[in-house]
Amino acid sequence: MKRNEFLRAGGILAASAFFSPNSLLAATRAKKEKLGIALVGLGYYSTDLLAPALKLTNNCELKGIVTGTPSKIEKWQQKYGIVDKNIYNYQNYEQIANNPDIDIIYVVLPPSMHREFTIRGAGTGKHIFCEKPMAPSVADCQAMIDACNKNKVSLAIGYRCQHDPNIQQMMKIAKERPFGKPRMINSAAGYFDNRTTHWKQNKALGGGVMGDMGVYALQGARLATGEEPISVIAQASTTRPEIYKEVEETMMFQLEFPSGARAACQTSFGINMNHLQVNYEKGWLKMEPQSAYNGINGSTSDGKIIKIQIENQQAKQMDEDSLALLNGNALIAPGEEGMRDIKVVEAIYKSVATGREVKI
C-alpha cells in the first residue's frame, strides 16, 4: 500500500482500534529482549537526539513513528528501516494497540499536547515515555498518571539528567550529607534562543522558559537538597518583547526548603548559563555545566572530581527505563516525579502574577 493510502486508511480504522482489549493484549504480550519504541513527533529532539541514541541502546529499539507530516516518512524509513505498518499519523494513532512490534510510545510533542497523547497512548495498552516538562498544569499531570494507572501501563518522564551518574552522585551527597545540611543553592540553566516561531514562544503550546530550561534550574535545587520546596517567590522579565510577546524570556525564582535551605534559581532564553553551586554546612559542590548533553563537570570542597563519562545521556535514559519495564522494577523518574516539578512551576507563575511569596 502506498504511504498516502496507508495514512488515509488508518484513519478509518482508528475508532475500532480504540476499543481494543488492552488487558488481554498485555497478558498475552510475548517476553522480549528489546522493547520497541514509537516516537510521536519528529521535531529536533526526536530527529537529532532520540533516534540516533536508539542506535546505541541494548534494551530498546526504534520500531515506529507517529507524525503529522507525511513528507518526513520516506527519509525516516530509509535511515532507520521502519516498515509501513509501523507508521502512524495523529488520527490513526490508536491503531498502535494492535501492533506487537511497539511496546513503548514516546511522546515528543509540545507540552500542551502531552496530556492528550499520553492518555490516548495509555488507552492502547502501551507503556508511555513523555518528554519534559510533563505538562502545563498539575491537573494535566494527574490526568496522565490516572490514565496510565487505569490502563495498567507505566509512565516515565524524559529526565535524562536523573540517569546521568554525575547527577546521581550529587543526589547521593544530598542523601548521605557528608558535608552536613545544604544551606544555599545557586542553580542556573539557559541559552540564547533567536527563534521567533517555535512552540517555546507560544503560550498555547506550553511555551515560556519555565517549560524548557526552567525545569533544569528547578531540578538542580530539588535534587541538590533531596527535598521539596515549601515556598517560592519569582520574577519574570523579557528583553525582546518582539519575540517573547506571550511568555517570559527569563525567570528568576527563590525557593525555601523544609530544612531551611534556600535556592536562588535563574533560567533564560536570552542568557547562556549552565551551573550549580551547593554550599553545605561544612563544604561545597560545584557543577558547570550541570545539564549539558555532552557531559557534566563537577567538584567538591574535599578535592573530589565528579566527571564520569557516558556515551549518550538519551540512550542511557531509554535503556534504563526499558530495562526497568522488562524486569518489573521501579522507574527512575515516573509521572509523579514530573508532577512535583509542575507543582512548583504553577506556584512560580502564581508568584509572578501576584508579586508575592507563594506556599507550595
Tell me the one-letter amino acid at 78.
Q
Exposed e or buried b per residue across 65-83, where buried means at least 16 C-beta atoms within 10 angstroms of its C-beta: bbbeeeebbeebbeebebe
Nearest to 344 by CA among 179, 227, 183: 227
Nearest to 298 by CA among 313, 281, 280, 285: 285
Tell me the residue ranges of DSSP E strands in 182-282: 182-192, 231-237, 250-256, 262-268, 270-280
The residue annotated as part of the active site, out of 132, 244, 316, 349, is: 132
**Cα separations in angstroms, 196 against 26, 181, 191, 200:** 44, 43, 15, 9
What is the C-alpha to C-alpha distance for residues 210 and 257, in angstroms, rounded to an integer? 20
Q: Give the number of C-alpha atoms closer than 13 A to the C-alpha of residue 285, restricted to the C-beta side.
A: 35
Kindly give the pairing relationship between strand 298-300 and strand 182-192.
unpaired
Alpha-carbon torsion, ordered 297, 299, 303, 307, to 10 deg: -30
Nearest to 234 by CA among 257, 251, 247, 209: 251
The residue annotated as part of the active site, out of 216, 244, 280, 349, is: 216
Whether residue 221 contacts residue 215, with contact meaning beta carbons closer than 8 Å, is answered with no
286: annotated active-site residue: no
What is the C-alpha to C-alpha distance for residues 278 and 244, in angstroms, rounded to an integer? 31
Whether residue 157 contacts residue 184, with contact meaning beta carbons closer than 8 Å, is answered with no
132: annotated active-site residue: yes
Q: Hey, what's the cell of 224?
A: 541538590
Q: What is the CA radius of gyration of the chain?
A: 21
- For 163: left if phi > 0, alpha if psi spans -120 to 50, otherwise beta; the answer is alpha
Q: Which uninterrupted H or E stretch holds 220?
A: helix 213-225
Q: Annotated active-site positions, please?
A: 132, 216
